[in-house]
């Protein structure tokens, strides 16, 4: 793969695209079409259950399939399951109708036994997916097309947890000694890390970790043949190189476009940029419970005073952050959840102009007329422009005399601070893979106990609210449940547990003539690519 030939294939590829489009109209697709796809990081493993991680799932979605899929608008779509519902006799049982006529890449047919095996493998440690299936008690194949999943109680939203849980072949897994997910501590490489046998639209042809992965369309796939017949997936870590590779015609699609390059790429002939909201919002939170703050000179805990939290909300200028820090590439919002998540309302999202005078009054009322000092912990390599967002906030809070000492560091040092309750004031980004508010409450609002509240760095604890959050898990009447969600949000917004900044926006850049929409989970599928 080198310059001249690449340019030629790119050009002839374009021609073929035109030809293919013409053929589609005529009713047949014959031409081969290759997409060279670059993003910042490679999948960590090809094992379908070992890692619950974005790039890993994104690549695996092409090789393996899930029972239900997630469309670009966030809704669920049938994939290996054609229908799903809560059993009419027993509200703790989910019933899945499994698609017929599906075969694995090795030619064997997929059965309900494979589905049962895969779900069991996914929910058994050391699988990285186990936490999503903690409420599952038993998975059974009722007949050739029906699978029952028995939960520990009613679980109306469980199906939302299945969008990244892949189905693999039982016989293949047992033959190759990977009947359980690979173990980090085991000390040897599992067969499934570099070999696959899924039912997905593409087969793994070549896997050279962190160099290149080649996938080819699987002819025995149950669905319509995709326009893209070959995928060459290359991780390119360095942002400048990634963009250069697109401009030089060496790759066709760049998934992680640096914010500062978006505007320039849009003005480049032959390149187009598509944008869409990501399922991730960025917010600040603070220890609002402890007696005093370790990093503050204030007496007592200023964040525990509601007026201080309100003053901070009045001091933050979200629009300025959007324009200056994000160069327009974000959706400023006061709601600590992305707009397509169940429970989001426009009221939560809305925010007024910053009002420094009023904020200063509130600070005085709270007993901090001269402000206070505090340390802000911030990651510098996890979210888009994360450190710059924190820097902007430092300036904004200085206007109400809060002297913020910024501590920006790498993600592996930042997140343990939240986990260990060693930060007074921090930035966090949160995605909601279940597309339901309960996920936010479980991890960020509920008192930290058991599987709840692991990212609740505010130490917020409200037993009454905890009860409501727990009740959500088993409510099957969705209207009643939505009302309860709204009630919980009212309380959370009232208490100002989060100081939300914005929702992240994703941008993909690609050669002209290629169409690919932004996926809210940042999991684009090459099957959805069309050519002009």
Partner 1 sequence: MLAFILRRLVQSVIVMLTVALVAFALFRFVGDPIASMVGQETTLAERAELRDALGLNDPFLVQFWSFIARAVQGDFGISYRLQQPVMELILSRLPATLELALVSGVLAFVFGVGFGVYTALRRGNWLSGSIMTVSLIGVSLPTFLIGVLLIWVFAVELQWLPSFGRGDTVYVGDWWRTGLLTESGRASLILPAITLGLYQMTLIMRLVRAEMLEVLRTDYIKFARARGLSSRAVNFGHALKNTLVPVITITGLQMGSIIAFSIITETVFQWPGVGALFINSVRFVDVPVMAAYLMLIALVFVVINLIVDLLYYAVDPRLRVDRANARH
Residues within the interface to partner 1 (CB under 8 A):
1-3, 6-7, 41, 44-45, 47, 50-53, 125-126, 128-132, 182, 184-190, 193-194, 208-212, 234-238, 240-241, 244-245, 247-250, 381, 410-413, 415-416, 419, 443, 448, 450-451, 454-455
Residue 210 region by backbone torsions, left for phi larger than 0, else alpha for psi between -120 and 50, else beta: left
Closer by beta carbon to partner 1, 233 or else 368: 233
Closer by beta carbon to partner 1, 194 or else 272: 194
Closer by beta carbon to partner 1, 237 or else 297: 237
Q: Supply 108's token pair.
A: 């064997």
Q: Supply 9's token pair.
A: 């294939």
Closer by beta carbon to partner 1, 223 or else 381: 381
Report d(CA 257, CA 516) in Å as an integer. Answer: 14
Closer by beta carbon to partner 1, 43 or else 396: 43
Residue keyed to tokens 């239900």: 68
Shortest Å distance, C-beta 55 to partner 1: 12
Shortest Å distance, C-beta 319 to partner 1: 29
Shortest Å distance, C-beta 529 to partner 1: 22
Shortest Å distance, C-beta 482 to partner 1: 23
Tell me the longest C-alpha to C-alpha distance in the chain: 77
Shortest Å distance, C-beta 195 to partner 1: 13
Residue keyed to tokens 């299945």: 162
CB atoms within 10 A of CB 5: 9
Q: How far is CA 508 from CA 94, 414, 484, in A?
A: 36, 28, 37
DSSP 260-276: HHHHHHHTSTTEEEEEE
Closer by beta carbon to partner 1, 210 or else 480: 210
Of 133, 122, 502, the closest CA to residue 318 belongs to: 502
Shortest Å distance, C-beta 401 to partner 1: 33
Closer by beta carbon to partner 1, 41 or else 486: 41
Closer by beta carbon to partner 1, 417 or else 486: 417
Closer by beta carbon to partner 1, 125 or else 395: 125
Burial of 143 (0-12, 13-18, 19+ CB in 10 A): exposed
Report d(CA 394, CA 89) in Å as an integer. Answer: 57
Report d(CA 196, CA 205) in Å as an integer. Answer: 10
Residue 187 region by backbone torsions, left for phi larger than 0, else alpha for psi between -120 and 50, else beta: left
Q: Is the peptide bond before 126 cis (omega within 30 degrees of 0)?
A: yes
Contacts of 484 (CB under 8 A, 6+ apart): 468, 471, 472, 475
Shortest Å distance, C-beta 172 to partner 1: 18
Report d(CA 382, CA 387) in Å as an integer. Answer: 9
Report d(CA 11, CA 310) in Å as an integer. Answer: 57
Shortest Å distance, C-beta 189 to partner 1: 5
DSSP 473-529: TT---HHHHHHHHHHHHHHHHHHT-EEEEEEEEEEEEEETTEE-PPPTTS---GGG-
Report d(CA 375, CA 122) in Å as an integer. Answer: 40
Residue keyed to tokens 């505010």: 458
Closer by beta carbon to partner 1, 55 or else 69: 55
Shortest Å distance, C-beta 382 to partner 1: 10
Of 126, 237, 111, the closest CA to residue 168 belongs to: 111
Closer by beta carbon to partner 1, 240 or else 263: 240
Shortest Å distance, C-beta 110 to partner 1: 26
Shortest Å distance, C-beta 126 to partner 1: 8
């Amino acid at each position: 793969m080198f310059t001249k030939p690449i340019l030629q294939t790119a050009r002839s590829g374009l021609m073929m695209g035109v030809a293919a489009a013409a053929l589609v109209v005529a009713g047949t697709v014959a031409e081969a079409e290759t997409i060279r796809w670059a993003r910042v990081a490679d999948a960590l493993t090809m094992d379908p259950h070992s890692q619950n991680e974005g790039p890993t799932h994104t690549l695996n979605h092409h090789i393996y399939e899930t029972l239900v899929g997630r469309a670009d608008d966030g809704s669920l779509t049938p994939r290996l399951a054609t229908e799903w519902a809560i059993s009419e006799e027993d509200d703790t049982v989910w019933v899945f109708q499994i698609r017929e006529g599906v075969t694995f890449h090795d030619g064997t047919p997929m059965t309900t036994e494979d589905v049962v095996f895969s779900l069991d493998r996914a929910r058994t440690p050391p699988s990285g997916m186990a936490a999503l299936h903690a409420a599952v008690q038993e998975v059974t194949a009722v007949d050739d097309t029906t699978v029952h999943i028995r939960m520990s109680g009613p679980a109306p939203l469980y199906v939302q947890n299945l969008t990244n849980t892949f189905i693999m072949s039982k016989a293949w897994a047992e033959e190759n000694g990977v009947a359980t997910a690979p173990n980090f501590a085991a000390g040897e490489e599992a067969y499934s890390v570099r070999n696959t046998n899924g039912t997905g639209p593409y087969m793994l042809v070549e896997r050279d970790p962190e160099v290149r992965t080649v996938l080819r369309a699987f002819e025995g796939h149950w669905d319509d043949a995709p326009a893209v017949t070959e995928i060459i997936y290359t991780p390119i870590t360095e942002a400048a190189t990634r963009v250069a590779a697109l401009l030089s015609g060496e790759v066709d699609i760049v998934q992680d476009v640096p914010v500062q390059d978006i505007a320039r790429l849009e003005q480049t002939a032959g390149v187009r940029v598509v944008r869409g909201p990501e399922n991730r919002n960025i917010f600040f939170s603070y220890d609002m419970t402890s007696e005093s703050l370790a990093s503050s000179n204030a007496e007592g805990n200023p964040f525990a005073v509601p007026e201080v939290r309100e003053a901070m909300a009045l001091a933050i200028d979200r629009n300025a952050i959007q324009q200056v820090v994000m160069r327009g590439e974000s959706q400023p919002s006061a709601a600590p959840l992305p707009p397509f998540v169940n429970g989001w309302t426009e009221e939560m999202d809305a925010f007024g102009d910053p009002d420094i005078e009023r904020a200063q009054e509130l600070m005085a009322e709270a007993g901090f007329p001269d402000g206070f000092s505090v340390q802000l912990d911030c990651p510098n390599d996890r979210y888009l422009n994360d450190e710059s967002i924190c820097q902007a906030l430092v300036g904004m809070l200085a206007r109400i005399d809060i002297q913020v000492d910024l501590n920006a560091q790498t993600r592996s040092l930042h997140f343990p601070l939240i986990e260990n309750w060693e930060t007074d004031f921090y930035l966090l980004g949160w995605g909601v893979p279940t597309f339901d508010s309960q996920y936010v409450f479980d991890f960020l609002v509920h008192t930290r106990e058991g599987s709840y509240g692991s990212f609740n760095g505010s130490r917020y604890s409200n037993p009454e609210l905890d009860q409501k959050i727990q009740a959500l898990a088993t409510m099957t009447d969705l209207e009643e449940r939505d009302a309860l969600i709204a009630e919980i949000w009212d309380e959370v917004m009232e208490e100002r547990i989060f100081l939300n900044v914005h929702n992240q926006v994703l941008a993909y850049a690609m050669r002209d003539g290629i169409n690919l929409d932004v996926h809210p989970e940042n999991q684009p599928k090459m099957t959805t690519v069309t050519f002009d």
